[in-house]
Copies of this chain bind each other. A is one copy, B any other.
Amino acid sequence: MDEDTAAVGSMSDSVENSLDPDNWQDFKALGHRMLDDMMSHLETVRERPVWTSIATDFCEHFQDPLPEDPQGALQAYEDFLTEIIPHHPALNIHPRFWGWVIGTGSPLGVLAEMLTAALNANVGGGNQIPVHVEVQVLDWCKEMLGYPKEASGVLVSGCSMANMIGLAVARNTKAGFDVRREGLQAAPQRMMFYTSTEAHSSIGRALSILGLGAGSLREVPTDADFRIDIPALEAMISDDRARGHRPVCVIGNAGTVNTGAFDDLERLATVCAREDTWLHVDGAFGAFAALSPKLRHLVAGMELADSLALDFHKWMHVPYEAGCVLVRSREDHVRTFSMNADYIHHTEPWFSDYGPQLSRSFRALKIWLSLKAHGVGTYRGLVQQNVDLARYLEQHIRANPRLELLAPVVLNIVCFRHLDPRPGPVDPQELERCNRVLLMRMQGGGQVFLSDTLINGVFALRVSITNHRTRRADLDFLIEHMLTVGERVFRSPRVEAEP
């Protein structure tokens, strides 16, 4: 008997094991307890702090070595309840969270993820139900955004990946040579990409991953409303051509992360058509302005983009992660990613022909269930509601002599600062320092969460409302709270910046 036979022999005597519970009833009971706990967690989120700091020594908990022996699902959950839940503040699920651009998630999204994990489908492609559901969700997405029905698309981790995919297709399609065969080192000219100075950092990161180099990205100045300066763009393209470079792609912004500004996408499309360059639009959250009749004018021209990136985990509030890229020409899209020539014969898509992933989760399910349960009408209302809330805050700020608006409010983002009420000439450095202290004090209080940015080099407090739980009363509270804290901050002439 050789060693292999011995192994099989010994196995036949041993108990076969699995990750299934020994007792399903007990396990289900644990699940029901978790579900009740999580739903209560959401139902009572308003009562908890939006942010708390973590004690430094607490993190030592997370230095325990790899557990060799099973402690059981119940004890693992107890650890979650003691080590994670009490120390992880509500953040983006809280009604008074307005930092960066982060979605709220939703109770239905929680249940949808449970269903998704139970099926544990690998949505690579082919004729299977999850593929049809994803195709339907992509069709719904095009319908929601007014994007051409024939476009191809794929759900991805988020807009960083969606931007990378769009820019990869742009690179390969407009290079003027076979990038897939030759590689970029064969480029006869430097390929140039253009976007405004307000573009998201993921654009630069994507180009860097794609091997294009920082010199291939031109940052175009913006106008007073933080929209790309189109004559400046045209001049750059023209200069680059004169230098022997090859203008390949313009990246338009539908909702910048700083101020929510929208580039004039129609004019960008005209420039791109004339210059034979690709138009990619980063519409991470702003693309959903298309949902509301009052806001739709902001995205006029978005339907002309060659590729469009957006997130369902932002303004559509499905749980992380769910981004999406749409590409006008399926042929260009597939030619960039497919590893074989068979794709043309596929009746159902193989999603690995549309992006870097081969194994893929059933992301579409949470979007499918959410759109069915809530209807797109609800999302139209919620997007408009958030924009109305931003306008409401804007008016409060305009009406208050202690506050100053720092950028136009075109969508859901309000940038402003507290003015120095003390007599005498205003010291810009002192004003910034006080606003930083004000922000830290508000954050530390755990009742509101906002972030900051620079507007034309000026430090600004920034409220970004992609939050279906926010109500007007929350903004009333913000203003009142800020004025109270501001009163204390500006009264003390020598407040030190806190760490």
Contacts and interface: CB of A to CB of B under 8 A. Distances in A.
Contacts of A191: 185
Contacts of A382: 17-19
Chain A contact residues, majority secondary structure: helix
A128 B88 contact: yes
A201 interface: yes
Contacts of A313: 359
A429 B91 CA distance: 63
Interface in A4-37: 4-5, 7-8, 11-12, 16-21, 24, 27-28, 30-32, 34-36
B190 A211 contact: no
A247 interface: no
Query: Assembly of this chain: how many copies?
Result: 2
Contact of A377 (B68, B109, B118): B68
A343 to B, nearest CB: 13
Contact of A376 (B34, B66, B356, B371): B66
29 contacts: A4-B394, A5-B395, A11-B392, A11-B472, A16-B471, A19-B108, A20-B469, A31-B35, A59-B132, A64-B136, A66-B376, A69-B375, A70-B373, A70-B375, A70-B377, A70-B378, A71-B372, A76-B108, A84-B365, A121-B320, A158-B359, A161-B356, A180-B214, A182-B215, A183-B190, A183-B215, A185-B187, A209-B356, A313-B359
A127 interface: yes
Given A24-B43, A35-B35, A313-B359, 8 more contacts: A17-B385, A28-B36, A54-B127, A68-B375, A73-B108, A157-B357, A201-B339, A321-B357
A42 B118 contact: yes
A385 B135 CA distance: 38
Interface stretch (A99-107, A219-227, A269-277, A300-308): A99-107
Residue among A187, A359, A377, A385 having the largest count of chain B Cβ atoms under 10 Å? A359
